[in-house]
Amino acid sequence: MSKLQEEVARRPISSRSSPWAIRLSKYMAQAGITANSISLLSIVFAVVGGALIAFVVHPIAWLCAAACVQLRLICNLLDGMVAIEGGKKTPSGPLYNEFPDRICDTLFLVPVGYAVGYPWLGWLCALLAALTAYIRVFGGSLGLAQDFSGIMAKQRRMAVLTAGLVVQCVETWLFGSHWSLLVALAIITIGSLVTCVMRTVSISRGLAVRSGPE
């Protein structure tokens, strides 16, 4: 894969150019930390965060879970930087780049459904989150540029979840209810569905343009 193809296939992340990310990824690459191990570390944060959401009803637990969400995203940022900018690519890199993300989404979103008393909504949310990625990769398999657009791509899903967890901390302390997390879960579910539709339409248009006028 050429350098241009790699850039097209990468998710656009503005923080990739931030000084702290550049320094940290360079340090990790020089220290011999592999991109694949960073990808796997994201699952560890998701396991801890998901467990806190599902089993610990306490304001501090919600904040710690929110921190785990952000640490997962940092891993997602750094693994690609270590692999590409740090020159640590491996043949199995694409596998480690995709599979841990799907596992992490499930480990975070399904427990939210149980925490708010709607397990089916958590499972539906996780399914739609995985489907957004499937549609993106499927478009790439058809020879189109992978489409990272949509109102509820991964960073936005995790931003909504983080906000929901932080607000839930206050709500738990004041009222003991779970409306914040329920609203966040509903937003992610609906947004993921819309994103699936948007990406599917984009693929359809891309195929039509490629085939030319009938």
Torsion (CA) 54, 58, 63, 69 in degrees, nearest 10: 0
7 pLDDT more than 60 = no
pLDDT score for 210:
85
Q: Which of 160-164, 194-198, 210-214 has the lowest mean pLDDT?
A: 210-214
The residue among 76, 100, 98, 71 whose CA lies nearest residue 161 is 71
194 in any annotated domain: yes
48 pLDDT more than 60 = yes
126 in any annotated domain: yes
pLDDT score for 86:
79
Across the range 113-122, mean pLDDT stands at 97
Q: Tokens representing 62? A: 């919600």
How distant, in Å, are the alpha carbons of 125, 146, 182, 199 from that of 8?
A: 27, 7, 35, 16
- Of residues 4 and 208, more confidence is placed in 208
Across the range 116-123, mean pLDDT stands at 97
5 in any annotated domain: no
pLDDT score for 88:
80
pLDDT score for 10:
64
- Of residues 198 and 87, more confidence is placed in 198
CATH number of the domain residue 193 falls in: 1.20.120.1760
Measured CA to CA, the distance from residue 88 to residue 154 in angstroms comes to 24
Where are the alpha helices (H) located in the chain, listed in sequence order?
3-9, 19-30, 35-55, 59-83, 93-115, 119-141, 154-174, 179-211
What are the tens digits of pLDDT across the range 140-172?
A: 999 999 989 899 999 999 999 999 999 999 999
pLDDT score for 3:
45
- Of residues 57 and 5, more confidence is placed in 57
pLDDT score for 178:
93
Domain of 39 in residue numbering reads as: 14-211
3-state secondary structure of 127: helix
| Model confidence, pTM | 0.91
How distant, in Å, are the alpha carbons of 25, 95, 149, 160, 179 from that of 3?
A: 19, 19, 21, 33, 46
2 in any annotated domain: no
52 in any annotated domain: yes
The residue among 176, 140, 202 whose CA lies nearest residue 62 is 176
What are the tens digits of pLDDT across the range 15-29?
A: 787 888 899 999 998
56 in any annotated domain: yes
4 in any annotated domain: no
DSSP 17: G
What are the tens digits of pLDDT across the range 72-101?
A: 999 999 998 898 887 788 888 888 889 999
In the structure, what pLDDT confidence band is assigned to residue 4 with cuts at 50, 70 and 90?
A: very low
7 in any annotated domain: no
- Our measurement of the distance from residue 22's CA atom to the centroid of its chain's CA atoms, rounded to an integer in Å, reads 20
1 pLDDT more than 50 = no
Q: How many domains does the chain have?
A: 1
